[in-house]
Amino acid sequence: MKKLSARRRHPLAAVVVLLFALAATGGLYAAFAPAGTAKADETAQSLAIEEGKKLYSVGCASCHGTGGQGTSDGPSLVGVGSAAVDFQVATGRMPAQQPGAQVPKKPNIYSQAQIDQLAAYVASLGAGPITPTESQYDPAGADIARGGELFRSNCAQCHNFTGEGGALSNGKYAPSLEGVSPKHLYEAMQTGPQNMPSFPDTTMPEQEKRDIIAYVQAVNGEKADNPGGLSLGGLGPVSEGLFAWVFGLGALIAVAVWVAAHTAKAKKS
């Protein structure tokens, strides 16, 4: 006892204790830290799923079933993936309200954090398209001309040449793409909502989707400030042709009538 207390009072005792404490802390940290952060991620993820499940049972289960298996009022959500949830809820399509030919876009009632939780829960039911990250959908530096070609061959038959939108059969319609965010453009291509076909990465790689997004943004910007003058609604050759027929031909007829009227008058006098 006496020996120990004597050693404790040794001038180096404090330094030794400090070094020992530092080594112990470092060692403990090294032993537990990586496992600790992985575990923290896991708990955050399962917490999101749990919160998402609560939101889901209040807002979605009545139509999609308590476990996402689907009911007569809504399809199964097993395997639709987080991207479909992010698109459907963030554009306000879901939760759907009244039955109709097509579920319309409307103001979104959830925060992005809640949407992420709903998406985490639905993704936990079965693997599907994952919500894209900004580097996937950011159109900066993409090829607008190539995007235009891709848009005309894949999208224009429904959405029109510059994404004005158009009617489909049975009361369905392809909406205008004006003001749709790059993320939602990407997700729509990934998941193919309602009557739209999907364009998965296997048939349309990420870069092509970015080119299309760049094109859609470019023509939308152009509408606000059209360098060619009147845009004619951006409807392409049909409206341009109609313009030529109605106004071009109309002007010719008017001139012909005017000339005829004046020659008649000239003859009389």
Q: Which of 49, 125, 142, 174 binds ligand HEC (CB under 6 A)?
A: 174
| Residue pair 157/226 in contact by the 8 Å Cβ criterion | no
User: Largest Cα–Cα distance in the chain?
Assistant: 144
Q: CA nearest 62: which of 93, 105, 95, 99? A: 95
Q: What angle do CA 139, 111, 59 make, to 5 degrees?
A: 120
Q: Which stretch binds ligand HEC (CB under 6 A): 12-20, 25-33, 191-199, 229-237?
A: 191-199
CA distance 187 to 129: 9
C-beta atoms surrounding 197 within 10 Å: 10
Q: Which is nearer to ligand HEC, 192 or 233 (CB)?
A: 192
CB of 225 to ligand HEC, least distance (A): 22
CA distance 137 to 211: 9
Residues 6+ away with beta carbon under 8 Å from 187 = 83, 84, 86, 87, 129, 131, 132
Q: Which is nearer to ligand HEC, 37 or 181 (CB)?
A: 181
Q: Which stretch binds ligand HEC (CB under 6 A): 2-10, 133-141, 156-164, 232-240?
A: 156-164
Q: Which of 49, 103, 125, 219 binds ligand HEC (CB under 6 A)?
A: 103
CA distance 52 to 33: 28
List the interface residues with ligand HEC, window 203-262 (CB under 6 A). 212
CA distance 87 to 112: 11
Q: Which of 105, 127, 238, 256 binds ligand HEC (CB under 6 A)?
A: 105
Count the site residues for ligand HEC by CB under 6 A: 46
What phi, psi does 119 have (nearest 5°)? -65, -40
Q: Which stretch binds ligand HEC (CB under 6 A): 12-20, 129-137, 193-201, 261-269?
A: 193-201
Does residue 63 interact with ligand HEC by CB under 6 A?
A: yes
Judged by the rule CB under 6 A, the positions of this chain that interact with ligand HEC are: 59-60, 62-64, 73-75, 77, 80, 84-85, 88-89, 91, 93-96, 102-103, 105, 118, 154-155, 157-159, 168, 172, 174-175, 177, 180, 184-185, 188-189, 191, 193-197, 199, 212
